[in-house]
Amino acid sequence: MNNTVQKKYNRGFSIILAVFTFIYPMGTIFLFLTWLGVQSFDPLIWQPESLPFYVLVFLLGSISIYGLWKRKKWGVYGLAGTWMLTGIINLGFVPPTPMPYRNTFLALLLVIAFFLLLLPEWQRMD
């Protein structure tokens, strides 16, 4: 019999993980259906040739979130990698437009909050 006690994440980190748990699988499904032509999309936002890359990023993000729920450090590394891949894909496929500073600031704020809430949990992860 296994007598180990699985500690829960703190409330703030659990909320962010729950949000990511919804966003990444739904994004994977949406982008996959868009890539297949079943779902419509705005070509000014999503370039058709970039869709397979975004499907891969969201799929890897979904797997990383699963790892985070299982308290695995590779989940953190995978999620950070998907964020970097997203930036690289955006540089290659998104047409040059004025920088949406508000969106960039909010995304950066979410990443900072994620890592600040992760710090106390890091030592208890495998």
pLDDT tens by residue, 101-125:
777 788 888 888 888 888 887 887 8
Residue 6 lies in a domain: no
Taking alpha carbons only, the member of 16, 14, 20 closest to residue 82 is 20
Mean pLDDT of 15-23: 89
Q: Say if 3 falls within a structural domain.
A: no
Residue 7: the pLDDT is 66
The reported pTM is: 0.79
Please state the domain count of the chain.
Answer: 1
Sign of CA dihedral 71, 120, 21, 101: negative
Residue 22 placed within a domain? yes
The answer to whether residues 107 and 87 touch, using CB atoms and an 8 Å cutoff, is no
Structural domain includes residue 2: no
User: Is 50 within the bounds of a domain?
Assistant: yes
Residue 21, pLDDT score: 92
Instruction: Evaluate whether residue 5 is within a structural domain.
Output: no
Cβ 18 vs Cβ 68: under 8 Å: no
Side-chain-side CA neighbours of 111 within 13 Å: the count stands at: 13
Q: Which residues contact 14 (CB under 8 A, 6 or more apart)?
A: 8
Task: State the residue range of the domain holding 52.
Answer: 11-122
- Amino acid 44 reads L
54-106 tens-digit pLDDT: 999 999 999 999 999 998 989 989 999 998 898 888 888 776 666 667 777 88
CB neighbours (10 Å) of residue 95? Answer: 7
